[in-house]
Structure 1
């Protein structure tokens, strides 16, 4: 698993130089060894130098060199000594989870959520701030002040920060530099330049549904092929194939919210009529003036109006789920802050509605509830920076 140098080498005829020598240098191998040592400690905390050397099949002096580098970089630390019946007890090593952090922001119309993740993708800190959205540079001025206030409150140093992701209700360019479609917040064409200018780390926009699916993939690494439905105030989605998010040719894959569900139905914010957004979003379920938590509490108490709306909502949601399953016969994950409020009985009711609608009377256990129950957008906005750090650790650490 860790020592896969063999795949770097090529078959060659007698008398010829191996192709690898023209491509990979000793520095490349050194970088890979450093990365392997770090990743072994990452997945096997409180391990010894000898266990690292045995697992990676590299020499103790080589391991010692890389441990020294990682200790100097303050990426790992000694964690006491391992128990031993005989002889000298070996030092145990583990990574420092908050040696680096990533910040994710969920941008909504009247508030923002700011979350910090450590290198295990675990939530270190979270704050909610009131901030009325307006797509101009003055908004960025206010937002950067909140980020710096957040950093100061939790005593994060600038050198700890890997990057800042801004989860937004809109489609974004591949590089995350601008919003390509932002009807909900009226921010199409908005550039991240002014905000990024306040920081010395990468900053990028991410579609909120992409953020939520990032969070789910992190919590559910065994997921291979699935459709992710992000059910929040608004509806969103993502297609996952081979454990990777599929964005499509122009980044519009998974925009299930704009599939036509009811011909000539309600008017969607996109200007068309009958979109799934109008019938499967939290806005439709709870209605104006009622928080989702209040709606589900009333439903559980037997409120007639809430029960009637819940049945109507399930009818449309089951229609959407069945349609999606006809296109891709994969797991369908119900995520987002509204779906996180579904009880086991609610999930069972949705499955029953889908089964009733299904042509093939399928086993509807393919419909599952997401594991990431809260802060999925702000967490998912930060996760790409964690993943990039883990991928590039051998390159970024001092050699």
Structure 2
């Protein structure tokens, strides 16, 4: 079998990318540390660092303490060398975030803007994006693009929508947004984007199941830090697992789906649509919130246990409801452990670390990831 021999340009690019990634995961480091860690010569590291500095991708942050000789320069990634936009498109809202290359949220906003598969809607989204960028006051030439997350199943090339019931966009194409957003646009599934956010920057966790408890239930399965899409790009549709045969009607047309029992609406409908108010009243032990929560929790625990049995990895609760479950995590772990055939505790269960606009952030992070890959 013929093997591809790397040419000098490919080797140079691989070294440059390795050096940038090494810097990316550290607050600061020195030329000597990079050379030693990556087993590269000092001249090779020095030349690549010079190129990265010329592109303003790294900066000098000072000097390390002397160990007897000349003080080594302290180097770090320039997190404001680029920015990415993320949009979370839902049935009733458009959330927008701007992140820098480190993943830090620079600004975010959520607009009440009901989805409609009409020209005026996409024009309106374009205006919202442009107004938002103007308010951010950044150099537009540094914008990598806009990641657009949808509650929909995408085609393999992620250019269009193959299935959508939450929003009326089946068959819709990324160009519908790109026509009015003057930056490179990519589409993401909303739950996959949120799950991707949770693994960002994690060095010791590479496999995880993310359960998105929004007004519709979704999720993602991440293996070796990569979204597992499945043969038909429907992996992670946890909201349509059956938990009660012939149970409550689901919006998909089936009965007994997880969505019909674990949607955030089950909770927020008791407080006029406010999930914040639901958990405030629950914290006070108020009725009917306490009774609603106990029933909701029982179905949620069944779902969690099923996911643990299927994938044998950490399970993260996210979405509107998951973001407020920190105070109830211990009891959820106890109940999950009681159903577990193999384990005495539920320490595998976690609550999302991104409480605000996780979906929009994840959509933006995909652009940052692509940018880092290209260095």
Partner residue of 1:84 out of 35, 59, 66: 66
Partner of 1:153: 135
Distance 1:322 1:58, change over 3 A: closer
Q: Which residue is 2:195 aligned to? A: 213
Equivalent in the alignment of 2:250: 268
- Conserved 8 A contact 2:209-2:220: yes
Q: CA 1:165–1:25 in 2, change beyond 3 Å: closer, same or farther?
A: same
Cα 1:95–1:339, aligned 2, differ >3 Å: closer, same or farther? Answer: same
Show structure 2 runs of 5+ residues with no match.
Answer: none
1:239–1:246 contact (8 Å) kept in structure 2: yes
> Residue 216 of structure 1: SS of its match in structure 2?
helix
SS in structure 2 of the partner of residue 126 of structure 1: strand
Deviations along 1:17-59, one digit per CA (max 9) or x if unpaired, are: xx87x62111112212222332233234443334333444434
Q: Kindly tell me: are residues 390 and 229 of structure 1, through their superposed partners in 2, closer, same or farther at Cα, counting changes over 3 Å?
A: same
Hey, what's the Cα distance between the residues in 2 that align with 1:212 and 1:142?
24
Question: 5 Å matches for 1:129-278?
Answer: 129-199=111-181, 201-278=183-260
Q: When the two structures are aligned, how many residues end up with a matched partner?
A: 374
Q: Does 1:342 align with 2:325?
A: yes
Does the 8 Å CA contact 2:305/2:336 hold for their aligned counterparts?
A: yes
Query: Scaled by the length of structure 2, what TM-score is found?
Result: 0.91
- Do 1:221 and 1:243's aligned partners in 2 also have CA atoms closer than 8 Å? no
Match among 73, 90, 93 for residue 108 of structure 1: 90
Structure 2 equivalent of residue 32 of structure 1: 14
User: Quick check: 1:227–1:332 contact (8 Å CA) kept in 2?
Assistant: yes
Superposed CA deviations along residues 84-117 of structure 1, whole A, max 9, x for unmatched, are 3755544332221010111111112222111112
Question: C-alpha distance in 2, partners of 1:286/1:194?
Answer: 32
Match of 1:367 in 2: 349
- Assess, with a 3 A threshold, how the Cα gap between structure 1 residues 185 and 60 changes in structure 2: closer, same or farther: same
Match of 1:297 in 2: 280
Deviation at 1:83, TM superposition (A): 3.2
Tell me the CA shift for residue 170 of structure 1: 1.3
Structure 2 SS opposite 1:364: coil
CA distance in 1, matches of 2:39, 2:257: 57
Contact 2:265 2:273 in 1 (8 A): no
| Equivalent of residue 325 in structure 1, options 308, 321, 327 | 308
CA distance in 1, matches of 2:191, 2:89: 12
Q: Give the conservation status (yes or no) of the 8 Å contact 1:217–1:223.
A: yes
Q: How far does residue 266 in structure 1 lie from its aligned partner after superposition?
A: 2.1
1:287 alignment partner, SS class = helix
Q: Distance in 2 between matches of 1:154 and 1:90?
A: 36
1:81–1:90 CA contact under 8 A, matched in 2: yes
> Aligned-pair distance for 1:353?
3.0
Determine the C-alpha separation between the residues in 2 that align with 1:221 and 1:54.
20
1:391 aligned onto 2:373: yes
**Structure number with bigger Rg:** 1
41-50 or 248-257, larger mean C-alpha shift? 41-50
Over residues 264-318 of structure 1, what are the superposed CA-to-partner deviations in whole Å (9 max), with x where a residue is unaligned?
3222111222211010111112226230110111111121211110111112112
Find the aligned partners of 1:272 and 1:25 in 2 and give their Cα distance.
Answer: 56
Query: What runs of 5+ residues in structure 1 fail to find an aligned partner?
Result: 1-9, 11-18, 394-399
Extract structure 1 runs of 4+ deviating beyond 6 A: none
